[in-house]
Amino acid sequence: MTNAGAQRDMGKRWVRRRHITMCAFKSFFRDCPDDIRDICDQELTSLVRVLRQSSPGGHEPTKDITYFVARSMWRLIYGRGRLPDASTCERLRILSTKMDDYTKNSGPFSALDRFPMLKRFVAGSMTRYQDAVQFMNRFCDDCEVERRAHTGADQSHDLMTYMMRGARTLTTEDERSLGLNEDLLFSGVGDLIRAGTESPSLLLLWVCLMLAKYEDVQRKMYEELEYLRDSEADIPTICEASADRMPYSHAVVYETIRYCSIVPFLKRRCLSDAIVGGHRLPAGTNIIINNYAISHDPRRWHDPEVFRPERFLDQDRMFDASQLEQFLPFGIGKRRCMGEEIGKLLPFAAIATLVLNFRLSAPDPIDLSPSFGITLTPKKQPLVFTPRSPGSKQPESNS
């Protein structure tokens, strides 16, 4: 396969690739809600079991949470209803650890991106970044080969089922005029694995830190979620992202996205000459959108430096979706996040399940200053996951 990811693809070919991929996403979520829910339930149950065994003195959860998301993404994209075998699990664990090298050594906050001449002086960082990208590309190529070997073994569907249907719509004209064939189309799945693992796991980690720091927020969230608990389940899970049923939980997650600005900058390119604020921007000019400034603009947000989920609730304490128009949680325009449905479901389901099963706290003061890279990454620090019993209450806090 070719390893030309969608991030480097532009123009008409990109439009065609994106259309096929978006149709695949929409069809998968429309046709397979039960399969998706089952995968979430099984993977969340595994995550809870792992965290139940964590040290009562504190446990740094980055590897466990990233591995949970990576496994979930693999099953949604390639799994066809299967659990990953031992070899795939090992590669998913390696991918989870390499994600750090990818995020910290690329993007607008990376010194290597801002000052390319530094690459010759920081060979170690550059090598780790390139190694991470190459490993992810090889992993996705191998997954597709292995998946094809299982085709016909069962009738379960995954995202690649719909990607392959989309590939059958490619014409000789697509290949002749756009250089687009099946291999190039599928090579973009590597971007789905990277982004689909990176962003949800970072959001989960940030929310865990915020809930451990602000115990009153965690208490309100738990009280809302307790009504959705399955009283028969040893490990209750919540595999949905309903704003109507969980308005405060939604508010917590979106306030975390706003407050932490996980993706601080968005990059676009002028397709034609433009004048913005009196400045002429020729076609081909790269544009950097300061997403952090939008999310912390005092003209749009009262006390933007305060973590306050209530700003996303209306006067009836229901989730106020109109507030989402004030910032860019999933990007904007034609390059808006393709995996928005997965980006919503996994973090919402996971954080709701974690709060339902654990009281989150920290043995040390929590550091909310980020590490810089293609995203703003939380500093690694231990958290305590104290198992809850049904009906357990959380003490009031003045945090």
- pLDDT of 140 reads 83
- pLDDT of 114 reads 52
Q: What is the pLDDT of residues 329-381, one digit of tens each?
A: 877 777 777 777 777 788 899 999 999 999 999 999 999 999 877 788 999 99
Torsion of CA 127, 131, 133, 137, to 10 degrees: 150
Bigger pLDDT: 104 vs 256: 256
User: Does residue 154 sit within a domain?
Assistant: yes
User: Does residue 314 sit within a domain?
Assistant: no
Q: Which of 61-65, 179-183, 341-345 has the lowest mean pLDDT?
A: 341-345
For residues 48-73, give the mean pLDDT: 94
- pLDDT of 315 reads 93
For residues 231-259, give the mean pLDDT: 87
Phi, psi of 287 (to 5 degrees): -115, 130
Q: What is the CATH number of the domain that holds 103?
A: 1.10.630.10
Q: What is the pLDDT of residues 385-398, one digit of tens each?
A: 999 976 555 544 44
- pLDDT of 379 reads 93
Number of structural domains, the chain?
1
Written as one letter, the residue type at 318 is M
Bigger pLDDT: 136 vs 125: 136
Whether 3 shows a pLDDT value over 50: the answer reads no
Bigger pLDDT: 120 vs 74: 74
User: Does pTM top 0.75 for this prediction?
Assistant: yes
Bigger pLDDT: 99 vs 224: 224
- pLDDT of 6 reads 44
- pLDDT of 358 reads 96
Q: Binding site annotation covers 208?
A: no
Whether 300 contacts 326, CB under 8 Å: yes
Band (pLDDT 50/70/90 cuts) for residue 116 is low
Percentage of the chain lying above the pLDDT 70 cut: 86
For residues 263-281, give the mean pLDDT: 86
Give the C-alpha separation, 378 to 356, whole Å: 23
Structural domain span for residue 249: 6-262+340-387
Q: Where are the beta strands (DSSP E) in the chain?
A: 265-269, 274-276, 279-281, 286-290, 358-361, 370-371, 377-378, 384-387
- pLDDT of 392 reads 57
Whether 232 shows a pLDDT value over 90: the answer reads no
Q: Which of 18-22, 31-35, 373-377 has the lowest mean pLDDT?
A: 373-377
Give the C-alpha separation, 73 to 159, whole Å: 10
Give the C-alpha separation, 244 to 319, whole Å: 7
User: Does residue 333 sit within a domain?
Assistant: no
User: Does residue 104 sit within a domain?
Assistant: yes
User: Does residue 297 sit within a domain?
Assistant: no
User: Does residue 397 sit within a domain?
Assistant: no
User: Does residue 398 sit within a domain?
Assistant: no
For residues 34-62, give the mean pLDDT: 94
User: Does residue 280 sit within a domain?
Assistant: no
Give the C-alpha separation, 353 to 317, whole Å: 22
